[in-house]
């Protein structure tokens, strides 16, 4: 797994020049990229969500497009539209911004559900269908969506089907005072994003993505993953538990985390570290629990404390929120 680790470290080091103090979040983004998954960056405005996507795209040197979602957008503004050419007397397809390798769906929850749904086929099947004709998207393909908290005015909460297609949901959070001072100093003359260059080729990325699939996961680890996902479906505070896609996402993410760490096998720490960002956005908390201010994140962490770790004989080490 050395080649995968090398690719991941180059990406993490490069993006860290722009996002100071967010190395763990950058690592999770790289894990999502190696899994060929999509990421949802959810946080308040101004913490660096868009910069994360831009820096990652420049580090990879892939085709990049940005979709700024607004309430008046139409699905055709995302996928593209067929236009009649009077010269050739035929319809010609004009591809939309979804036809890129790295797509930044900025403030995705400001678009209406109809427009949000335009991303569903692209994210799951890596293709787009317009007027009955299907167009394949160029690999590698990844959607980095950002959204502000749904409590803000003028937003539309993402439907469950949309959320389930995101491999990970991340929150960047505010920097520490020391990190914020370092950020001010780094941007005094010019923005560090202008100095970001490509550090990983498309071929290296594709090879790393293939190598991740070969990371060994023993039967105990598979059962551990399924036990966690199954527990979300019977928890009294959860109205709707994680889907089978959630189990597969946790499985793939654990493989990628092991590969980034230079291992050829998954250990319990890989699953424990990724359970919350992989599963919390896939479950719906019941109305009674919401009144008690119980969150999906706290439920997943409580399940991690309750479900025995494979190979453990006494107790389970508590999981803390970092």
Q: What angle do CA 114, 116, 121 make, to 5 degrees?
A: 100
Bridge partner residues of 83 (DSSP): 92
Q: At what angle do helices 23-34 and 202-212 cross, to 10 degrees?
A: 80
What distance in Å separates the CA atoms of residue 11 and residue 61, rounded to the nearest whole number? 11
CATH 3.40.50.300 residue ranges for the chain:
2-208
What span, in angstroms and rounded, lies between the C-alpha atoms of 62 and 65? 10
| Full DSSP string of 214-276 | TSB--HHHHHHHHHHHHHHHH-TTEEE---HHHHHHHHHHHHHHHHHTT-SB--HHHHHHHHH
Quick one: 284 exposed, middle or buried, by C-beta within 10 A (0-12, 13-18, 19+)?
middle
- Return the CATH number of the domain spanning residue range 2-208: 3.40.50.300
Q: What is the pTM of this model?
A: 0.88
CATH number listed for the domain at residues 215-306: 1.10.8.80
Q: Does residue 320 register a pLDDT over 60?
A: no
CA distance 54 to 33: 14
pLDDT in tens, 114-172: 899 889 999 989 999 988 889 999 888 999 998 877 656 678 888 888 899 999 999 88
DSSP string, 164-185: TT-SEEE---PPPHHHHHHHHH
Q: Could you read off the pLDDT of 263-308 as tens digits, one per residue?
A: 999 999 999 999 999 999 999 999 998 888 889 999 999 999 889 8
Give the integer Cα–Cα distance in Å for 191 and 184: 10
User: Where does the chain hold its CATH 1.10.8.80 domain(s)?
Assistant: 215-306
């Amino acid at each position: 797994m050395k080649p995968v680790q090398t690719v991941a470290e180059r990406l993490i080091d490069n993006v860290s020049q722009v996002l100071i103090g967010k190395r763990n979040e950058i690592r999770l983004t790289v894990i999502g990229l190696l899994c060929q998954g999509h990421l949802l960056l959810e946080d308040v405005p101004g913490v660096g969500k868009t910069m994360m996507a831009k820096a990652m795209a420049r580090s990879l040197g892939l085709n990049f497009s940005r979709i700024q979602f607004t309430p008046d957008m139409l699905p055709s503004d995302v996928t593209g539209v067929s236009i009649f050419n009077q010269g050739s007397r035929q319809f010609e397809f004009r591809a939309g911004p979804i036809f890129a390798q790295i797509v930044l769906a900025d403030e995705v929850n400001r678009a209406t559900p109809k427009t949000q749904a335009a991303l569903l086929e692209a994210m799951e099947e890596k293709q787009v269908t317009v007027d009955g004709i299907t167009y394949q998207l160029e690999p590698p393909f990844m959607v980095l969506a950002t959204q502000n908290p749904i409590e803000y005015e003028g937003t539309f909460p993402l439907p469950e089907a949309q959320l389930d297609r995101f491999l990970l949901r991340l929150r960047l959070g505010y920097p520490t005072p020391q990190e914020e001072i370092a950020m001010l100093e780094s941007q005094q003359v010019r923005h560090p994003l202008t100095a970001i260059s490509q550090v990983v080729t498309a071929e290296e990325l594709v090879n790393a993505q293939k190598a991740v699939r070969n990371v060994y996961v023993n039967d105990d680890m598979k059962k551990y993953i399924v036990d966690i996902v199954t527990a979300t479906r019977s928890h009294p505070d959860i109205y709707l538990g994680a889907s089978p896609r959630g189990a597969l996402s946790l499985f793939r993410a654990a493989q990628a985390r092991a590969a980034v760490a230079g291992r050829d096998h998954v250990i319990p720490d890989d699953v424990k570290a990724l359970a919350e960002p992989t599963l919390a956005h896939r479950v719906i908390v019941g109305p009674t629990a919401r009144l008690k201010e119980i969150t999906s994140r706290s439920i997943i962490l409580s399940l991690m404390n309750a479900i025995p770790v494979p190979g453990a004989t006494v107790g389970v080490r508590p999981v803390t929120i970092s």
